[in-house]
Chain A
Amino acid sequence: MTQRFLILEDGSSYPGEGFGAGATTTGELVFNTSMLGYQEIVTNQIYHNQIIVFSQPTIGSIGITHDSYESILPTAKGMVVRDVSDISKNRQRSLSLDQFLKQHNIPGISGIDTRHLIRQIQKNGTMKGSIVDVDDDHAFDQLHATVLTNQQVAQVATPVPYPNPNSGYNVVVVDFGLKHGILRQLSRRKCNVTVLPWNTDAQSIISLDPDGVILSTGPGSPLDLPESVLEMIRTIQERIPLFAIGLGHELFALANGAEVTALPVAHHGASHPIRKIITNEIIYALEGQEFVVDGESVDRDRLITTYRDLIDSSIQGLRHRDYPAFSVQFFPDGAPGPNDSVDLFDEFIEIMGTREELHG
């Protein structure tokens, strides 16, 4: 084990032990309060450009397993943990978290007072940080000088289309940095999926004649994406059932005239109760968001709020009044997190079925 440092924009430095890749890394510090699923978290593309601080203190205890990838090529910038285990449990006993991070050039640092960091982030807001070998002035200069890209979606989304064939509904997934949980849920429902790059235009989607379209999760700010994406959404929602998740939800809101604002502190975890307004049912789901749809800005003639977070009152779901289009801010596929809202995929299937009846 080698001593490394986590240094932050505010000038603080925390010594710890390096694991994973030995590279120097810089990213935005976000924390995640999930108690399970470190592999799903670190492979989720929403963490592009970010260093993830885990509140769960024991990380790495079950190694890396084939069914827990949310992307094959993770692009998180680092992991900050209290304690890491170098354990492998897969059939070859060959892949621990440490080895996995080395393969993907992601540095980790352990032995950090992550509870303190989380309290700091809560108090002072999001900060940039670096994992470095030496915490000298040069390292801090580098940290301050680093400008993180805002072209995150382009970095992580597929540049070319690819299929995930099956025998059911023909579904197009527009990839903004999608988590595999979405594909797993569609596979389970036998959907014949085509994943398309984020900047595909509406006409190209329509020409694939899909029964439904999914706007995927992804990293970064929806405001950094070009207006053409919103145009695509407006065209599609009029014609084809649409289900938008995470970043997709934020884009769906923007496309329908709502505003999206940055949260003072990003929220990643599954401990918030969320009310499903129509049934009054309360569910838990993995939330991972830095942006939120501004409730005031929602045009009630166009959008209906369907889900609301009971802790911070944030909008967690929307539905279009005129079209078969709906969205959720949270991740209904779990991975990691509760399955309480996985029936949203069934609802999507049902909507595609209704439309087929109408048109067929």
Chain B
Amino acid sequence: MDNEIQKILIIGGGPTEIGHETELDAATLQMIQAFQKLGIRTLLIDNNPFSVALERVQPTNMFIQTVTTENVQRIIEKEHPDAILPTVGGVLAISVVQELQESGVLSDNGVRLLGIPSESMVDVNNPDRINDVLRQIGAPVISSETVGTLDEAVSVATKIGYPVIVKPVAPKLDTNRILCDNENDLINAVTQGFAWSRFSQCLIEQSIVGYKEIEMVAIRDFTGTQVLISSLENIDPIGIHSGDSMVVVPTQTLSNTEYQQLRDMTFAINNKFNFTGVSHIHFALDAQKETFYVTKVTPYNDRGTALAAVATGYPIATVAANLYLNLKLTEIRLPEIYHFRQTAMMEPTVDHVVVRIPIWPFEDVPNADQHLSTVMRSVGSTIGIGRSAEEAILKALRSSQFSPKDELPSMSNLSDSQIISRLIHPLASHILVLLEALRRGYQVDELNELTKVDPFYFYKLRHILDIEDEIKANPMGAKALKDGRYYGFGDGMIARLWRTDIDNVRQLGRDHDVVPTYKGIEPTAAEFLTEATGYYSTFEFENESNRLSDHSALILGRGGNQLGPNASADYFTTSMLRQLRKSGYKTIIMNTNPNAASLVATLTDKQYVDPIQLGDVLNVIEIERPEIIFVPGNRHYLTRELRRRHLHIAVLPPDQEKRSELVNNYAQIGLDLFITKDHIVPIVISDLRSDQGMATTFDQITVMKTPASIDDTQLDKILQHATDYLMNDPRTGLVQMLYTIDHRQPVFAGVRPSRLTTIAFLNKVTGINWVRMLIRQALGEIDEDLISNLPLDIHSDRVAIMRGTFPFKQLQLPSQLGLTTQEVGGRIAFGSNTKTIVDDEADETE
């Protein structure tokens, strides 16, 4: 190990946005845990209020600041870290570190780069430079040229021939490849691309739309030893951004020869650039000509590495942290929970199929262009794990096309011409159209021709339809139930096809011994008889999951990210997990979001990756018999059904909609309080605003700033009113009292449960984790002592601002007033200690 490194500065991922969600924070969290275990002091800069990782560093090591070159430089000069880690903060971190390297800040301060050597750092995210290096090792790359002016762009595109792809060189943010069919498209794309590029340059390359997109995730130690962790196959062809594509792990349609070529090339690329830690290489495969191209080299953590880790059960981020410190793969012991016989040196092999399906934000942002293209538009994703492609696809669909009763939406209202048009120009939820086309008798070859999706997947989808027909034709048939469950149909789906109650379906299953069997998610395909901590269900012979404990808590996650609560929901869940452990419970999480921090194996005692639907939840409950079940507040049907079965449940995170009582349609001031049976505790009082000034509706309130711009008299009046009001109100937990100011007088505007985003704000401002307080309340652990010792000061003059962030730019929409339902992430900033009102914008370092 490299003993010269005692202090590491990690560049965090910043606010969640399209392109990266919680996976960066989850990776950061694992890195921090690994570094701390090695006795290394870890500093973290991030302004994401929903960061789980930020809570794992000491306050003195925590820099809640925007990730900018200036801020990072300031920290370097003050703290003198031995090394800087640019590989968990996405594209932004890479670009900031590149600038620090170019300006000599890193070398002047003797700060070493981890993961990516300085000589390769200049190439990262610079496709032209990358291609030059790739050509040196004989890697096939697409013909391309870098341009700096519109004229150059037009002449290069004419030379290469349309369609072409435009990529900004060294982008400042997570941008996309833009497909251009003609000169008009090209001019728009290049103009935009110049603005995104740090060098005002774009790369114009030959289009390979329609090729198969394959990704490889590998890790490498400083001696050059490598492990291929996983292959990922995009079901949708090139032309649809890999973040918007359905992805299957491991590859299903490659021959051994094709696969080994890509594995060899991955290793050769990592050797050439001398990367250590994790790397993620994209390939385009021309199935007809049996040739391939290298399309993207990503030597850092991203959604692909997160999926590879969840799919294989191999702790990539933890191992990578050790590799950065020049430990060899053979020297790295895996965390206890993995029970590996040996070291990190083992190539994962899995005996299940994982499918990831994206979630798009179009319901909340209806004016966005909904066509799937080279520009990523999804905001989250869910995975399904099964022992057949059908089972994995259906499970992923049941989570991504979420419906409370677990029924899949139908596309039967589309006309034939709409179907054709959507086959050629895919929209969100493409897979439902593929299913509908098969239902209408389209042939596999014809569909393959139109969509470039491998025939294998159409055979699998057709099989799903065959099973559906069998279920329909055999109401309450035991064999139909067995086949349905075996291939991934949910109890809700089957109940609907039979027009019966889910209880009848479940009883039929019990009567005929069609019961779930859980299989371990582990990287050896059962070669080693180890006890896994992660499980998924299937309907086979052997069940590997037994009751964990007679003192366990089951926590139902929020599933895939969507606009609105998004990252804050997963932050809430992980806080719950921590407190439950502290309170002595064995914790069991059920979740389907591969990017969720709450699925990081070290945070819970057991993980189930299965749809969070009534049937699947009951199945887990029957095995685990938990003492208490935590159900998210937005799951009304599930809550009702679990209550009806007399299960001990607690509704957390609290319901955001149902329990509001609003007497006005906007508010300017919010007072958040914690209410127990005997106490009403004011926490923080804040100004409430929209991101463009005053909010005129509640759903425009996306900015919070404390202290509120009111005087002490007004504050006292509000505190008095709130106490009086809540004294006679049955609410407990965290609530927000809302006020307007009319002629200097506070006027009551309503009361609502504190929003998830607000709770994160309260945590950061007070240094008390209120989620954990809610859990302790649910467990009856709140007492007089605890309440009276809370270090709270409602009169504090420390300035803090939290703003919601919105995906409009990435959805290529003009700037617009953001609503709470459109929040993709958030950012937080702390200001001076004076009670002067700091101008919002002056506080922002951007």
Q: Contact: B345 with A58, CB < 8 Å?
A: no
Answer yes or no: A271 CB below 8 A from chain B CBs: yes
- A116 to B348 alpha-carbon distance, docked (Å): 19
Q: Contact: B263 with A338, CB < 8 Å?
A: yes
Shortest C-beta distance, B833 to chain A (Å), equals: 55
Residues of A293-312 whose CB lies within 8 A of B: 310-311
Answer yes or no: B253 CB below 8 A from chain A CBs: yes
Residues of A within 8 A of B517 (CB): 113
Answer yes or no: B456 CB below 8 A from chain A CBs: yes
Q: Contact: B255 with A36, CB < 8 Å?
A: yes
Residues of B346-397 whose CB lies within 8 A of A: 346-353, 387-389
User: Residue of A at shortest CB range from B388?
Assistant: A83
Q: A40-B256, A269-B349, A271-B347 are in contact. Are A87 and B519 (CB under 8 A)?
A: no
Q: Contact: B352 with A57, CB < 8 Å?
A: yes
Size class of the A contact interface (CB-based, 8 Å): 35 or more
Q: Contact: A271 with B264, CB < 8 Å?
A: no
Pick the contact of B264 from A62, A89, A282, A339 — CB < 8 Å? Answer: A339
Q: Contact: B256 with A334, CB < 8 Å?
A: yes
Q: Contact: B346 with A336, CB < 8 Å?
A: no
User: Residue of A at shortest CB range from B329?
Assistant: A282
Q: Contact: B542 with A35, CB < 8 Å?
A: no
Pick the contact of A115 from B254, B348, B456, B526 — CB < 8 Å? Answer: B526
Partner-contacting stretch, out of A118-126, A136-144, A185-193, A250-258: A118-126
Residues of B within 8 A of A353 (CB): none
- A55 to B525 alpha-carbon distance, docked (Å): 6
Q: Contact: B253 with A62, CB < 8 Å?
A: yes
Q: Contact: B524 with A116, CB < 8 Å?
A: no
Most buried by A among B256, B259, B350, B541: B256
User: Residue of A at shortest CB range from B224?
Assistant: A281
Q: Contact: B541 with A270, CB < 8 Å?
A: no
Q: Contact: A123 with B351, CB < 8 Å?
A: no
Q: Contact: B459 with A310, CB < 8 Å?
A: no
Most buried by B among A68, A273, A336, A339: A273
Answer yes or no: A37 CB below 8 A from chain B CBs: yes
User: Residue of B at shortest CB range from A41?
Assistant: B256
Pick the contact of B527 from A40, A114, A118, A284 — CB < 8 Å? Answer: A118
Q: A35-B250, A57-B351 are in contact. Are A115 and B542 (CB under 8 A)?
A: yes
- B385-425: CB near A (< 8 Å → 1, else 0) gives 00111000000000000000000000000000000000000
Q: A68-B255, A284-B347, A334-B260 are in contact. Are A82 and B529 (CB under 8 A)?
A: no
Q: Contact: A119 with B542, CB < 8 Å?
A: yes
Residues of A within 8 A of B346 (CB): 271-273, 311
Residues of A within 8 A of B526 (CB): 55, 115, 118-119, 122
- A103 to B202 alpha-carbon distance, docked (Å): 56
- A122 to B343 alpha-carbon distance, docked (Å): 21
New A-B contacts (19) at CB < 8 Å, excluding given A34-B349, A83-B389, A310-B343: A33-B351, A33-B524, A36-B259, A37-B255, A55-B351, A67-B257, A68-B255, A86-B459, A89-B455, A116-B540, A118-B351, A122-B526, A270-B347, A272-B346, A273-B342, A282-B345, A284-B228, A336-B256, A338-B260
Answer yes or no: B225 CB below 8 A from chain A CBs: yes
Q: Contact: B529 with A119, CB < 8 Å?
A: yes
- A20-48: CB near B (< 8 Å → 1, else 0) gives 00000000000001111100100000000
Residues of B165-189 whose CB lies within 8 A of A: none
Shortest C-beta distance, B192 to chain A (Å), equals: 40
User: Residue of A at shortest CB range from B541?
Assistant: A113
- A311 to B541 alpha-carbon distance, docked (Å): 29
Shortest C-beta distance, A274 to chain B (Å), equals: 10
Q: Contact: A56 with B330, CB < 8 Å?
A: no
Pick the contact of A14 from B329, B387, B456, B541 — CB < 8 Å? Answer: B541
Q: Contact: B225 with A281, CB < 8 Å?
A: yes
Residues of A within 8 A of B519 (CB): 115
Pick the contact of B349 from A14, A33, A67 — CB < 8 Å? Answer: A33
Shortest C-beta distance, B703 to chain A (Å), equals: 50
Answer yes or no: B252 CB below 8 A from chain A CBs: yes
Answer yes or no: B341 CB below 8 A from chain A CBs: yes
Residues of B within 8 A of A116 (CB): 540-542
Residues of B within 8 A of A115 (CB): 351, 387, 519, 525-526, 540, 542
Q: Contact: A57 with B387, CB < 8 Å?
A: yes
Answer yes or no: A341 CB below 8 A from chain B CBs: no
- A278 to B491 alpha-carbon distance, docked (Å): 58
Q: A270-B349, A271-B527 are in contact. Are A61 and B541 (CB under 8 A)?
A: no
- A127 to B802 alpha-carbon distance, docked (Å): 64
Give B residues with C-beta under 8 Å from A: 225, 227-228, 250-257, 259-260, 263-264, 329-330, 341-343, 345-353, 387-389, 455-456, 459-460, 486, 517, 519, 524-529, 540-542
Answer yes or no: A233 CB below 8 A from chain B CBs: no
- A339 to B459 alpha-carbon distance, docked (Å): 31
Residues of B within 8 A of A40 (CB): 256
Q: Contact: B345 with A310, CB < 8 Å?
A: yes
Residues of B within 8 A of A122 (CB): 526-529
User: What are 8 inter-chain pairs, A to B, with CB distance below 8 A?
Assistant: A33-B351, A34-B349, A36-B255, A55-B349, A61-B252, A85-B460, A122-B529, A270-B347
Residues of A82-133 whose CB lies within 8 A of B: 82-83, 85-87, 89, 111, 113-116, 118-119, 122-123
Shortest C-beta distance, A18 to chain B (Å), equals: 17
Pick the contact of A58 from B264, B329, B389 — CB < 8 Å? Answer: B389
Q: Contact: A56 with B255, CB < 8 Å?
A: no
User: Residue of B at shortest CB range from A123?
Assistant: B529
Residues of B within 8 A of A335 (CB): 256
Q: A123-B529, A271-B348, A282-B225 are in contact. Are A58 and B388 (CB under 8 A)?
A: yes
Answer yes or no: A74 CB below 8 A from chain B CBs: no
Q: A82-B388, A272-B346 are in contact. Are A57 and B254 (CB under 8 A)?
A: no
Residues of B within 8 A of A273 (CB): 227, 330, 342, 345-347
Answer yes or no: A219 CB below 8 A from chain B CBs: no
Answer yes or no: A65 CB below 8 A from chain B CBs: yes
Residues of A within 8 A of B257 (CB): 67-68
Residues of A within 8 A of B329 (CB): 282
Shortest C-beta distance, A42 to chain B (Å), equals: 13
Answer yes or no: A337 CB below 8 A from chain B CBs: yes
Shortest C-beta distance, B228 to chain A (Å), equals: 8
- A312 to B388 alpha-carbon distance, docked (Å): 31
Shortest C-beta distance, A126 to chain B (Å), equals: 14
Pick the contact of B342 from A34, A284, A310 — CB < 8 Å? Answer: A310
- A281-296: CB near B (< 8 Å → 1, else 0) gives 1101000000000000
Shortest C-beta distance, B531 to chain A (Å), equals: 12
Residues of A within 8 A of B387 (CB): 57, 82-83, 115
Shortest C-beta distance, B441 to chain A (Å), equals: 20
User: Residue of A at shortest CB range from B543?
Assistant: A116
Pick the contact of A36 from B225, B256, B350, B486 — CB < 8 Å? Answer: B256
- A192 to B401 alpha-carbon distance, docked (Å): 60
Q: Contact: A85 with B456, CB < 8 Å?
A: yes
Residues of B within 8 A of A89 (CB): 455
- A67 to B264 alpha-carbon distance, docked (Å): 19
Pick the contact of B330 from A269, A271, A282, A338 — CB < 8 Å? Answer: A282
Residues of B within 8 A of A86 (CB): 459
- A329 to B581 alpha-carbon distance, docked (Å): 48
Q: Contact: A271 with B524, CB < 8 Å?
A: yes
Shortest C-beta distance, A35 to chain B (Å), equals: 5
User: Residue of B at shortest CB range from A86?
Assistant: B459
User: Residue of B at shortest CB range from A267?
Assistant: B527
Residues of A within 8 A of B228 (CB): 284
Residues of B within 8 A of A337 (CB): 256, 260
Pick the contact of A61 from B259, B263, B456 — CB < 8 Å? Answer: B456
Shortest C-beta distance, B216 to chain A (Å), equals: 13
Residues of A within 8 A of B345 (CB): 273, 282, 310
Shortest C-beta distance, A127 to chain B (Å), equals: 16
Residues of A within 8 A of B263 (CB): 338-339
8 smallest A-B Cβ distances: which pairs?
A116-B542, A336-B256, A113-B541, A113-B540, A37-B256, A55-B525, A83-B388, A55-B351
Q: Contact: B260 with A339, CB < 8 Å?
A: yes
